[in-house]
Every structure is written in C-alpha cells, then in structure tokens.
C-alpha cells in the first residue's frame, strides 16, 4: 500500500509500516515543513493514504472540500510508541481497502471510517 506519513507521525510507526512492506513517503525525512495543502496534494498524486495526527486535514476535506485519496487520523496519545505502531499496523491490515476515499479516525479501541465522495470542488 502507498502511504504518506505526515511529519508528526512517530518514527516507530514508520519503522513498523516499512517492515510490513508498505511504500512510504515520510514527510519528516523528505519534505519537512510542507504545508498541509501540499501534503494532501502529494498524497493524492501518489494515490497514497495519508496518516497524520493533524486535525486540520479534516477542515481541508470537509469544509474546503479538497479531494483526498484517504486520510487516517491517529488519536493514540498516551500510548507507548511501539504499541501505537502495532495498532496502526493492525488497522491497515484489517481495513486497508476501506481506508481509501475515506476520512478515518483511529483510537486505541476503535476506528471510525467515513467515506468521502465529493463530485464538485
């Protein structure tokens, strides 16, 4: 699966998803400081799922109606990084096909997947 990890995503999540065999562009390493609009554009161009901790992407998608190939918003604060990595890895394995064209929120105990279909910008 093609993934874009926002610069706020912890390195152990990157490491685990790399071990899982995903193709990853990590904003922290390659594009640090890129604006949210440009991160979203990059994800769309790469046909990649964007993984982030930044709630501002919800505004871009729902209020500004910017198109997205898929966003997974992580709400995993207070959990050790290794456990976060395993939770994200497990969610991708279980829900991979449902996460595209969706805005999803992952918590330690649940995932909410909301399909997004905007026909007009």
The token pair at 94 is 């279980």
Count the Cβ atoms, other than its own, within 10 Å of residue 58.
15
The 10s digit of each residue's pLDDT in 7-65 is: 999 999 999 999 999 999 999 998 888 999 999 999 999 999 999 999 998 888 888 77
Q: Is the pLDDT of residue 117 over 70?
A: no
CA atoms within 13 A on the CB side of 37: 2
Query: What is the reported pTM?
Result: 0.91
The 10s digit of each residue's pLDDT in 52-88 is: 999 998 888 888 777 788 999 999 999 999 999 999 9
- Report yes or no: 44 and 67 within 8 Å, Cβ to Cβ: yes
- Report yes or no: 22 and 92 within 8 Å, Cβ to Cβ: yes
The token pair at 80 is 């050790």
Confidence of residue 121 (pLDDT cuts 50, 70, 90): very low
CATH of 2-115, one of 3.30.460, 3.40.50, 2.60.40, 1.10.287: 3.40.50
């Amino acid at each position: 699966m093609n993934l874009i990890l926002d610069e706020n995503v912890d390195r152990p999540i990157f490491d685990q998803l790399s071990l899982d065999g995903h193709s990853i562009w990590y904003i922290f390493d390659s594009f640090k400081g890129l604006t949210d609009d440009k991160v979203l554009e990059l994800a769309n161009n790469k046909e990649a799922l964007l993984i982030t901790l930044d709630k501002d992407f919800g505004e871009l998608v729902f209020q500004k109606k910017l198109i997205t190939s898929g966003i997974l918003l992580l709400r995993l604060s207070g959990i050790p990084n290794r456990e976060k990595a395993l939770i994200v890895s497990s969610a991708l394995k279980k829900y991979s096909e449902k996460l595209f064209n969706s805005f999803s929120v992952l918590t330690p105990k649940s995932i909410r997947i909301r399909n997004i279909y905007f026909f007009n910008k």
